[in-house]
Chain A
Amino acid sequence: MIKRIIADIGIVLCIIYAPWWVTVIVGTFFAFYFNNYYEYIVAGVLIDVLYGNNGVSLIRTPFVFSIGSVALYFLIQFLKTKMRVYP
């Protein structure tokens, strides 16, 4: 539990201070490391609301990273079921 809280603090600090792609890499690592790492989706929403343009994007929604993080989260969950390292 403590590990997860530290990871959560780490991801928030990444969103605020680090380049966005660092957050994506660190978040993906944590999503593989922890079970049901829902914070990955929250991180996507946070990136959108902190830095995004309201309504200006290719798919006309300010939630590009939120949608992307939901898709990646389920992809990671699916990949974990196919990997031997996970029981």
Chain B
Amino acid sequence: MNYRQNNTKRNILIGTSLLVAVVPIFYFWSGAIYYGISTATHYISDPLWKAGNRVTNTASSYGVFFHSKGTLEEKNDELEREIQELRLKLLSKDLLLQENKELKATLGRVSGREVTLAAVLAKPNNSPYDTLIIDAGKDKGIEEGDKVLVAGEIVIGTIQEVYAHSSKAELYSSPGLIHNVTVREGTIPAKAYGKGAGNFEITLPRDVEVTLGDVVTIPDTDIIILGNVLHIEKDPNSPFQTILVKSPVNFSELKWVEVVTSSPENIN
């Protein structure tokens, strides 16, 4: 019993002295300490993440052997139908994009976007902070503040820290982040508050007409989509309505992202 009490006292003493020593150090130099340790740990963990990605890809390719022929045929038909639909949509989209570029060029608004493709090493599921780790760093010309896109026009975040061979991107949906956005084909300006895991919240006056599925974009010379309206909450007693926006990107299945490495008109 005596031994146990002595042990507790000793632990409390160690704990208190550790706190007294560590708290001021963290308070004054937390940024520098953080970056130093972060760079070192990323140097070690990058090969592990890359090896993990390789193992997952190989395992998923072997998984095909266990599917039945019927299921594969069904899936194949479904995917072919989907490809046909998407081809048709893409055709009209390409024409519109071309027209859009020509109009901007006529008005002297050329965006000159350069994109670097990067593999996702760690997703928000691993990370408790709504961050992504990608396999492109200083070696690929990535810089802090570069935008991270999916499918060329869906923005998901910005580069926060750049290491030698990897970078950390903060998702736009990180809690506490606020973005200037436009709702309904750029007609209604608003502020989107990050709510985590690809979700955002927008508050607008009650009378503003918003429908489910409306596209929410980031003001830029290029079309940059943030998400779609998923839910609208209207309280009869409130003069405002709350709009919940969801990014169309499924972060748990995200494998590749595009980093915009140079864009002279990067707004936001």
Given contacts A63-B26, A77-B11, are A54 and B35 in contact (CB under 8 A)? yes
Q: How many Å from the CB of B179 to the closest CB on chain A?
A: 14
Residues in A whose Cβ lies below 8 Å from that of B264: none
The answer to whether A20 touches B128, judged by C-beta atoms less than 8 angstroms apart, is yes
A55 interface residue per 8 A CB criterion: yes
Check A53–B7 contact: CB distance below 8 A: no
The majority secondary structure among interface residues of chain B is helix
B124-164 near A? 1/0 per residue, CB < 8 Å:
01111101010000000000000000000000000011000
Taking the nearest CB of chain A, how far is it from the CB of B54, in angstroms?
13
Partner pick for B176 among A16, A20, A56, CB 8 A cutoff:
A56
In the complex, A21 Cα to B52 Cα: how many Å?
Answer: 19
- A-contacting residues, B211-236, CB 8 Å: none
Which of B41-49, B59-67, B238-246 lies at the binding interface? Answer: B41-49
**Cβ of B174 < 8 Å from any Cβ of A?**
yes
Instruction: Choose one: B19, B31, B131; the contact of A51 (CB below 8 Å).
Output: B131
Q: Do residues B174 and A52 form an inter-chain contact, with CB atoms below 8 A?
A: no
Residue of B nearest to A67 (CB): B26
What size tier do the contact residues of chain B reach? 35 or more
Closest residue of B by beta carbon distance from A61: B30
Contact A19 B126 (CB under 8 A): yes
- Give per-residue flags for B81-94: 1 if the beta carbon is below 8 A from chain A beta carbons, else 0: 00000000000000
A53 to B45, CA, bound (A): 17
- Whether B160 pairs with A51 at a CB distance below 8 angstroms is no
- Choose among B11, B26, B31, B42 the residue that contacts A50 (Cβ–Cβ < 8 A): B42
Q: How long is the Cα–Cα vector from A79 to B26 in the complex, in angstroms?
A: 27
User: Cβ of B4 and Cβ of A50 under 8 Å apart?
Assistant: no
B180 within 8 Å of A (CB atoms):
no
| Complex Cα spacing A55 to B8, Å | 34
Ranked nearest first, the 7 interchain pairs of A and B with the lowest CB-CB distance are A51-B127, A20-B128, A49-B38, A62-B34, A49-B37, A74-B15, A19-B125
Residues of B within 8 A of A (CB): 4, 7-8, 11-12, 15, 18-19, 22, 26-27, 30-31, 34-35, 37-38, 41-42, 45, 48-49, 52, 122, 125-129, 131, 133, 160-161, 168, 170, 174, 176
Q: Given A48-B34, A53-B170, A56-B170, 12 other A-B contacts at CB below 8 A?
A: A16-B49, A19-B125, A47-B128, A49-B37, A50-B122, A51-B131, A57-B129, A58-B176, A61-B27, A62-B34, A65-B128, A81-B7
